[in-house]
Amino acid sequence: MPSPTTDPVATRRVSLLTLGCARNEVDSEELAGRLAAGGWELAAEPEDSDVVVVNTCGFVESAKKDSVDTLLAASDTGKKVVAVGCMAERYGNELAENLPEADAVLGFDHYADLSDRLDDIVAGRKIESHTPSDRRKLLPISPVQRPTAAETVEVPGHAQHGWGPRVLRTRLDTSPVAALKIASGCDRRCSFCAIPSFRGSFVSRQPDEIVAEAMWLAENGVKELFLVSENSTSYGKDFGRDGARALELLLPRLAAVPGIERVRVSYLQPAETRPGLVKAIATTPGVADYFDLSFQHSSETVLRRMRRFGSTDSFLALCDQIREYSPNAGIRTNVIVGFPGETEEDVAELERFLTGARLDAVGVFGYSDEDGTEAETFEGKLDETVVAERVSRISALVEELTSQRAEDRIGDFVDVLIEQAEDGEDPIGRAAHQAPEVDGECVLIETDDLPSLAVGDFVRCEVVDSEGVDLIVRPAPPEADR
C-alpha cells in the first residue's frame, strides 16, 4: 500500500492560475468547484500544491506569450503543470509538442472529469493531449435548437446541468465584485477574430440558472455583478420568439437579488444594441448606466472589411441615444488601428468619431494577424512602423479626450464601491461608469468626517478633481443630490 506521502489520493492539492478576461475568471471558478466536488483541496500558492492548473488565454500574441511564460514559471516550481483554457483548446497537441514542460494540455471536453484527469497526472499516467477542432460544429446551426444540445456539449461556464440547485462554482478571491457568465460563444464572423472557432457557437444560459448563481454570489459577499459573455446583446436569441427581450427582462431580476447593489453589463455589439436594451441599462434601478460597446473602428470601409456594421454617424447617434436617457452614462470601447487597407482618411474618420463620442475609456490596439482568420489572408497589410505610429497617434488623442471626459465629471455625485481600504492609505473604489481594472478608479480623499470604510461598502461621493481617467472624490453629506 502506498505511503501517505506518495499516495496521489492523500496529496490532492491544486492551485489555479488564471490569465485573460473575466470570462476566464468565471471558468476558473467553475473548475475550482468541480475539483472541490472531486475531493481536491485548493491551494493559494503553486508551491503548496501537487498540480498547478493554468487557465490560458489565446486571444492575441501577447496573451499567448503571457500564457507560455506562466506555464514555464509554474513548471519551475517542480509541481505537475496542466494547461487548460483558450490557448490549450485552440492549439492542443501542437502546444503540448512545443511545451514539454506541461504535463498535460487539456481542452474544454476534459472539464467535466478534470478531477479524475488530475488524479491520473499525479499518479504518472499519460493523458493524450487535446486535439483541436472547430467548436462551432458541435452545436446546431439553428440557435433555438442549441439550449437542449448544449446539455451534451462541454461549454465552459454552463456546468449546472445535472447539478440541480447547487451552484458548481468556488470563489477564488474575496472581491466584492464577481463576473457572472450569461452566455458563451459567438455567431459573428469578424474577419480579425478567431474566438468563435475555439469557443463555439453562441448559446445562452437559462435566466433562472443565472439568477440562482447571482443569489449564491450575493450570499458569498458579492455586491456587484459583472455580466460577461462573448456577445451580451445576443442573449436570448436561442430562446425563440420570447428571447428578443431576454436581457431586458433579466436585468431587473438580477438587480432585485438581496445583497446585490449594482449590476453591470459588458460586451455589447453596437449593431445589435436595440433601443429597448439601451433604455433598460440606462434606467433600471440597480443597473449601472454603463455601456461597453465594441465599436472597433468607425470608418465604414474598414468596418466592412472587418465584417462588421456601422459608421461614425450611426455610432454617434447611439451615444446620443444613451445620453438622452442618462447624460452621465459611462461609455467605453476598444478600437483596432492599422487594419489591412486602412487609409489616412479612415484614421481621420476614426478620430472624428472619438472626438464626438466623448467616451470614458478606450483601448487602442494595433492590428496583427491571428492564426486562421480571414484577415490573415487580406492584401493591403500595413508596415509595422505605420501601425505603431497610428497606435501612438490614436492613443495620444484618446488620452486627451478621456482625461477631458473625467474633468467634465467634477462636481458630479457618484456611488463608489470600495475595493481597497487599508490603514494609512486613501480608500479606492469604482463608480458606475468604471468597470473593474480597465476604466480607471475613484480615490477617496481624507476629510475630518471620513467614515470608517470597508471593502464592499458603497459610498455616495462628490467628484472634486481628476487625474487622467481617475476621479478624486470625497464622501458627500446625506443630503447630497441623487
Binding-site annotation, residues for [4Fe-4S] cluster: 21, 57, 86, 186, 190, 193
Q: CA torsion sign, 292 to 294 to 297 to 301? A: negative
Cβ–Cβ < 8 Å for 189, 307:
yes
* Closest to 336 (Cα-Cα) out of 378, 293, 399, 294: 294
Locate cell 481617467: which residue?
Answer: 469
3-state secondary structure of 128: coil
Sheet holding 361-366, edge to edge: 290-292, 330-337, 361-366
Query: What is the three-state SS of 54-70?
Result: EEECCCCHHHHHHHHHH
Cβ burial of 245 (10 Å; 0-12, 13-18, 19+) is middle
Q: What is the DSSP letter of 198?
A: H
Cβ–Cβ < 8 Å for 31, 53:
yes
Alpha carbon of residue 418 to chain centroid: 20
| Torsion of Cα atoms, 42 then 216 then 329 then 402, to 10° | 0
Burial 313-327 (b: 16+ CB within 10 A, else e): eebbebbeebbeebe
Q: What is the DSSP letter of 338?
A: S
Cβ–Cβ < 8 Å for 400, 408:
no
Q: What is the DSSP letter of 178?
A: E
> According to DSSP H, which parts of 378-466 are helical?
384-408
Q: Which residues touch 475 (CB under 8 Å, ≥6 apart)?
A: 444, 447, 449, 450, 451, 459, 460, 461, 462
Cβ–Cβ < 8 Å for 29, 171:
yes
C-alpha distances in angstroms, 100 versus 65, 66, 93, 105, 371? 16, 17, 11, 10, 22
* Alpha carbon distance 267, 248 (integer Å): 15
* Closest to 452 (Cα-Cα) out of 419, 415, 427: 427
